[in-house]
Amino acid sequence: MNKNDYLETVKILNRYAHHYYVLDDAIASDEEYDTLYKSVEIYESENPLHVVSNSPTQRVGGAIQDGFNKAEHRAKMWSLEDVFDQDEFEKWEERVRKLSSNISFYCEPKYDGASLNLIYSKGELIQAITRGDGSIGEDVTQNAKTIHSIPLHVEYDEDIEIRGEVVIFKDNFEKINEIRLSKGDTLFANPRNAAAGSMRQLDASITASRNLVFLPYGVGQNSLTFELQSETMEFIYSLGFRAPPMSITCSTSEEVEKFYDEMVGCRDEFEMMLDGMVTKIDSLSSQAQMGYTVKFPRFSVAYKFPAVEKVTKVKDIILQVGRSGVVTPVSVVEPVNIDGVVVERATLHNFDEIQRKDIRLNDSVIILRSGDVIPKIIKVLEDRRTGDEKEILRPKSCPICSSELLDEGVLIKCQNLTCNARVVNSITYAASKQCLDIDGLGEKIVKTLYDEKLITNILDIYSLKYEDLIKIDKFKEKKSQNLLDSIEKSKGCECWRFLNALAIEHIGEVASKQICKKFGVEFSALHVEQLEAIDGIGKEMSEAFVEFISVNKELIEKLLDTIAPTYEVAEVKESPFSSLSVVLTGTMSKPRGEIKALLESLGAKVGSSVSKKTDYLIYGEDAGSKYDKALSLGVKTLTQSEFEKMINSMP
């Protein structure tokens, strides 16, 4: 590689990364990226004087710092006035209309993270400063450089401050907490705390591991000459920053309200947590004319979403025994309505976590519910204690089978392999959607069949007979026959489903798919080394796999004979949906899973949320926020019958 090749490779890598981290649209495989990255690393180690500041290698933090230096923002970082309902919003609007006539509004999400000021000079990122008190913050440049959605270099020579929010995507937040839980570390209460905590790491490699994302929302000191906030933001995105998942300019408060309702309606579908919508006067000269109060800009307001954190009381603790015997404490709380859902239970994760947070019966607590995630207790309000609180003790015996529990510290386990709860949960899991997908075999029915002594393991399901079922209370002819039909239908399933149903520790859906993709049904004879060669499968997983297969050889062979899973790569037909991204919403006349499978067989990717990149939204009856969002983004929509017509007219 010569110097020109090196510079060209850096450019290509930055383009790949921009597509991946900013545009959410990968244009290269991980492998291609890694190969080029390695060649850049080698060239740089041989030619240290040629290293350019925007090389992706410069994102990896240097030495561990012993503290953060204070740093001054060039222009003050303001915070926002909050309004909580339509009435308050209209009052704000009335005020601004008095200050400036003929205004239009620019609206975008209010991200729930940690604010950050980036200073670029001559196109280079020279400093990143946390908000601090608005005038002085902490210099976290090393950490900011690890965030891939923060360009190290921009095509703009003047000095400029770019402000935005550092966030952690919700799915990533759950993963980080899962890892912390398994290590016995304190959990982050919410993505905001996780983002703020990650920015204040003295070791930048920890920040790098948290996959933070930067979303710009404004500029500080600058010499831009745009007239509108919206134009300024478009310019910032064009420099290589992420654009918001939705934004709008509007001229009436009705339009603003409508956009707010839309955003509230689909808040759970966004990758990041949002806690409101920010409305700014679009004209920058009007902004300047309105100026600031002592605390806030007059030209901007945060219209908050209904809270996802609420105060309630811990009334009771119940213990759940999972399929691996782990005993999980769940709190029963005084019912509270959180953003339209009545919450009555919150997970407590494990007993170490209860002790760490010092949660007691009758405590007042703050609970958090967001999206599909199970609500959790994030804080105890100790100063509300009255003396009626009772300590929650670590259990000594299994609440289901009464056998002695093994207390391993973080985890408490029921060791009894025949404990009813363990058996019922493992059969229920094996029958679930992401495994053998046996319709109608949920926890309740599995428990009944188990209590009736008709099944003791997954293999027994396949010997169930109509005569056995019909004798059970509430099992009429149709229900019995339907269950037998769906059990029969699970035979010949894709082999990853079979593997996933075995519930091997650490081997979930993704790993099962990877293993089967590579080895098909021939997984019984695999060695640790063969498994480890698969991307993303480590030593621990491989060992758990091999050990499980050898211990349960006999049962697995019988299951393989009975279920006969197949190694089938679905044939993809040429179709009007090839490589398109499709979202389904509303009530359809067929099960969604069926339509999804059909689309996938036509080469479409079926996603769960609508974005600019969605090609089609197919909707049924009572389509709600996804439909509205598709319209606002100009995504093509099809009714279910229009979709079916298209399919039927295919050659």
Catalytic positions are 110
What's the closest the beta carbon of residue 90 comes to ligand IVH, in angstroms? Answer: 20
What's the closest the beta carbon of residue 628 comes to ligand IVH, in angstroms? Answer: 21
Q: Which is nearer to ligand IVH, 219 or 424 (CB)?
A: 219
Please, which of residues 47-86 interact with ligand IVH by CB under 6 A? Answer: 78-80
Q: Which is nearer to ligand IVH, 79 or 337 (CB)?
A: 79
What's the closest the beta carbon of residue 134 comes to ligand IVH, in angstroms? Answer: 8
What whole-number distance in Å separates Cα of residue 87 and Cα of residue 187?
38
What whole-number distance in Å separates Cα of residue 131 and Cα of residue 116?
6
CA 357 to chain centre: 25
Please, which of residues 354-373 interact with ligand IVH by CB under 6 A? Answer: none
Is 297 a binder of ligand IVH (CB under 6 A)? Answer: yes
Q: What is the DSSP string of 312-326?
A: EEEEEEEEEE-TT-B
What's the closest the beta carbon of residue 276 comes to ligand IVH, in angstroms? Answer: 8
What's the closest the beta carbon of residue 61 comes to ligand IVH, in angstroms? Answer: 23
Burial class (CB in 10 A: 0-12, 13-18, 19+), 89: buried
Q: Which is nearer to ligand IVH, 192 or 310 (CB)?
A: 192
Do 284 and 300 meet the contact criterion of CB atoms below 8 Å apart?
no
Q: Which is nearer to ligand IVH, 107 or 606 (CB)?
A: 107
Q: Which is nearer to ligand IVH, 65 or 249 (CB)?
A: 249
Number of residues that bind ligand IVH (CB under 6 A): 15
Q: Which is nearer to ligand IVH, 81 or 255 (CB)?
A: 81
Window 146-165: contact mask with ligand IVH (x via CB under 6 A):
-------------------x
Interface segment toward ligand IVH; rule CB under 6 A; list 105-113, 120-128, 436-444, 528-536: 105-113
Interface segment toward ligand IVH; rule CB under 6 A; list 34-42, 66-74, 109-117, 552-560: 109-117
What's the closest the beta carbon of residue 649 comes to ligand IVH, in angstroms? Answer: 45
Angle formed by the axes of helices 253-265 and 625-633, to 10°?
A: 120
Tell me the backbone φ, ψ of residue 595, rounded to 5 degrees.
Answer: -65, -40
Buried b / exposed e across 154-167, counting CB within 10 Å, b at 16+? bebeeebbbbbbbb
Sign of CA dihedral 5, 6, 8, 14: positive
Contacting residue, 56, 137, 151, 218, with ligand IVH by CB under 6 A: 218
Is 423 a binder of ligand IVH (CB under 6 A)? Answer: no
Contacting residue, 108, 138, 353, 494, with ligand IVH by CB under 6 A: 108
Is 217 a binder of ligand IVH (CB under 6 A)? Answer: yes
Q: Which long-range contacts (CB under 8 A, 24 or more apart) does 561-566 make?
A: 562/459, 562/462, 562/491, 563/436, 563/462, 563/490, 563/491, 563/492, 563/493, 563/498, 564/491, 564/492, 565/492, 565/493, 565/494, 565/495, 565/497, 565/498, 565/521, 566/492, 566/493, 566/494, 566/495, 566/521
Is 214 a binder of ligand IVH (CB under 6 A)? Answer: no
What's the closest the beta carbon of residue 85 comes to ligand IVH, in angstroms? Answer: 17
What whole-number distance in Å separates Cα of residue 273 and Cα of residue 371?
9
In terms of Cα–Cα distance, which of 78, 271, 94 is closest to 170? Answer: 271
- How many C-beta neighbours within 10 Å does residue 488 have? 11
What's the closest the beta carbon of residue 476 comes to ligand IVH, in angstroms? Answer: 56
Residue with smallest beta-carbon separation from ligand IVH: 115
* Non-local CB neighbours of 74 within 8 Å, separated by 6+ positions: 119, 159, 161, 220, 221
Q: Which is nearer to ligand IVH, 217 or 498 (CB)?
A: 217
Q: Which is nearer to ligand IVH, 185 or 231 (CB)?
A: 231
Three-class SS state of 133: coil
Contacting residue, 229, 300, 312, 480, with ligand IVH by CB under 6 A: 300
Is 110 a binder of ligand IVH (CB under 6 A)? Answer: yes
Residues forming the site for ligand IVH (CB under 6 A): 78-80, 108, 110-111, 115, 131, 165, 217-218, 278, 297, 300, 302
